[in-house]
Structure 1
């Protein structure tokens, strides 16, 4: 008997992707899908051992494109979203994320906004009918009805740490967690982000590394000058997972009013802060969506500042003194400051399609274009994940059940709840209560 095909949701970084994938999963189960959610590496390994279905990739780079081809060769339908494009407003940088394999093998490109759609269609006219503008469900899960648990954890952080300024950093090219800047350059070649035969690719990489170095120096200067201007303030620095947190203890006098903390989820830390400071980061988009005061440091005239839509939307500061002035103004009058006014008037334009209808629902609507078919056989999982991959994925059964429960509670009532069956290597199957997992 024909039914909706299985939907495979591949996750790389649980802290970034789990909330949005859980929301898609709940809506898809309500629509009649059986959903399989798990670490991308395990599912990549076992495409030919999984019942034919729809595989939703989190990106389109060279590695993702090669795995799309493997999925297609195993009989699956391929869909993709581009998680790395959330803040990008430059066509060249968006296209850099799409490999030739992904353009050839993807059956449905989920675009976050009209700009991304236009960029893809201009470069690849033949895929126009394979694009759906859906928005990004990471914006859904920051709506008030979905953030109760985030704010509960934020309250706990405020109880523990008091009032603080949060600095979210992202300096993986100049402070990499593994290897050095040259190692990262090699990884960019492996993922297709840099073409080593093209001198422009190397120039772009070096400009990016220089941009991160300038941003890093600006953050260090901001932390020191902020404490001199406001000796009683507390600063918490949260390095990106791609960074080495130990280096921050060399650059700053950590302890006392400055602390470096990576534990916990970044959304709760952002919600708990008085002001969040970043350098053109995705966390700025998330802060704007949560109504959280934030400022982007954009020192100097590096062209990379202009590649991110967040710098068109949120308050920016070209100098440390400008940033300190904005932050102190907000600390003194939080409901009248420029940071408050700019946050209250957020508009992402054609970069991110944010509307009343959930992006997750629009994604499931787009997936419905693929026909029903008979589902034969069960899953045969033989793949495994390394310690490093497991840390990136970071999804346990308890965490998934709690997250799914939160999504169900935030959505309109539905008379069937989602059941979860745990398989090996972090793979989970989600289906309507009373149905049967495989």
Structure 2
């Protein structure tokens, strides 16, 4: 039976999702929910261990084809938003690449970034109108001025002014294999054909050229800014090796895996990027954002983050722009934030903050749920068989190597790049900033936490 008072929030990339989902939890517990939050891969491997509550997945992409239908048939009330939908190449290709029709049909509701991606989905799948809710993402909600403390670094002391470089080139500089092998595998798994396949190949060619130019630009920064600390933050799915090699050659370059990219932006004179989602978040907070655009394409550029940035095309131009910047004070941050919000108005969710923020929209929809999901007798039989098979598998794994399917066994080096672990104290500190200092946080083990009000019910 569905436990409709429980919401499960799996996390794929901690630096991207953790604080926003804690904010979501802080609001959900006020409405009477109990929230479970933690390591996505552990949940996907161990679904029978979890209560059958309302599941909010990170996306409905092609990699979820073995997860969404299983979760629904096991009795979870499946919903999703897409953590990567805030920044897309264009909405029509986004639908081709990341939103299969059958996957949305596994969901009670799919929460879109805004009206743009919703419209593209409806052009392709007109019968999905009732499934699609333009909500935005809680990552935007926590950029409100009252939550600025969540993005501030308290223990940073590099002794120099900071320039942050955000790299988002996981296609061109993949973490765990060479570029060509990654590309071949990605295209094979995508199942794209025709114009959609041509677009994907063209986009990857474009980002390869952009990455090479971007890397060459970053190599100029240490000498151009000898009194600054250059902090490089590669995407968690990107190899740190080229950036580590650069840091080894320069005393004023470091590659950071600590803190969020947004937190580094808050203490930097400038953040340099191209097409990076963090640029949107940092711009909305009022930071100085510079886009380096040495290779342009009307077809392939990821435009939205660049639109909230000072755009540069030549290295010398970028250096000149950054030399004119210093870490903004409160008044400048307020002005920068207002300008960014104006540029993004109507593009992310139906509102930018206020009572109609993404979290409120999603929770309003979830509280309207009655009988859900509608499972057939075949689904019930699947659930029984799946659970029996799972417990047999778990018993065999436990006999073979002790912990078997536990989180520690799933956190290989690549997984640790994306999910560095959570603890109750860390969650409590964030919840205090979000006005939920009275929340109870229980460590459930295996990198999962349970968050409730002191009485286990909302106020």
In 2: Cα distance, 1:427 partner to 1:404 partner: 14
1:161, CA displacement in angstroms? 3.6
Aligned to 1:376: none
Higher mean C-alpha displacement, 305-314 vs 69-78 = 305-314
Aligned to 1:329: 324
1:75, CA displacement in angstroms? 1.9
In 2: Cα distance, 1:341 partner to 1:14 partner: 30
Unpaired runs of 5+ in structure 1?
A: 374-378
Aligned to 1:355: 353
Aligned to 2:456: 435
Q: Deviations over 1:256-309 (max 9, x none)?
A: 233333333322211111000001101111111111001111222334553431
Note if contact 2:81-2:111 (Cα within 8 Å) is conserved in structure 1.
yes
In 2: Cα distance, 1:316 partner to 1:340 partner: 20
In 1: Cα distance, 2:231 partner to 2:70 partner: 43
**2:52 equivalent to 1:52:** yes
1:424, CA displacement in angstroms? 3.3
**2:430 equivalent to 1:406:** yes
Query: 1:278–1:433: structure 2 CA closer, same or farther, 3 Å change rule?
Result: same
Query: 1:200–1:387: structure 2 CA closer, same or farther, 3 Å change rule?
Result: same
In 2: Cα distance, 1:406 partner to 1:274 partner: 25
**2:279 equivalent to 1:284:** yes
User: TM-score, normalization: structure 2?
Assistant: 0.81
Aligned to 1:207: 202
Aligned to 2:158: 160
Note if contact 1:68-1:101 (Cα within 8 Å) is conserved in structure 2.
no
Aligned to 2:399: none
Corresponding residue pairs, total: 419
1:397, CA displacement in angstroms? 2.1
Query: 1:225–1:432: structure 2 CA closer, same or farther, 3 Å change rule?
Result: closer
Aligned to 2:420: 394
Secondary structure of the structure 1 residue equivalent to 2:257: coil
Q: Deviations over 1:299-332 (max 9, x none)?
A: 223345534312233221122233223212224x
In 2: Cα distance, 1:340 partner to 1:422 partner: 38
Aligned to 1:123: 124
Secondary structure of the structure 2 residue equivalent to 1:430: strand
Aligned to 2:43: 43
Query: 1:237–1:405: structure 2 CA closer, same or farther, 3 Å change rule?
Result: closer
In 1: Cα distance, 2:339 partner to 2:215 partner: 30
CA RMSD of aligned residues (A): 3.2
Aligned to 2:339: 345
Query: 1:318–1:427: structure 2 CA closer, same or farther, 3 Å change rule?
Result: same
1:23, CA displacement in angstroms? 1.3
User: TM-score, normalization: structure 1?
Assistant: 0.85
Secondary structure of the structure 1 residue equivalent to 2:84: helix
Query: 1:365–1:91: structure 2 CA closer, same or farther, 3 Å change rule?
Result: same
Unpaired runs of 5+ in structure 2?
A: 373-386, 395-404
In 2: Cα distance, 1:57 partner to 1:384 partner: 20
Note if contact 2:2-2:52 (Cα within 8 Å) is conserved in structure 1.
no
Query: 1:32–1:402: structure 2 CA closer, same or farther, 3 Å change rule?
Result: same
User: Within 5 A, what are the aligned runs for 1:137-156?
Assistant: 137-153=138-154, 156=155
1:244, CA displacement in angstroms? 1.9
Secondary structure of the structure 1 residue equivalent to 2:344: coil
Query: 1:324–1:430: structure 2 CA closer, same or farther, 3 Å change rule?
Result: same
Query: 1:76–1:250: structure 2 CA closer, same or farther, 3 Å change rule?
Result: closer
Q: Which of 445, 450, 454 matches 1:424?
A: 445
Aligned to 2:78: 78
In 1: Cα distance, 2:451 partner to 2:278 partner: 29
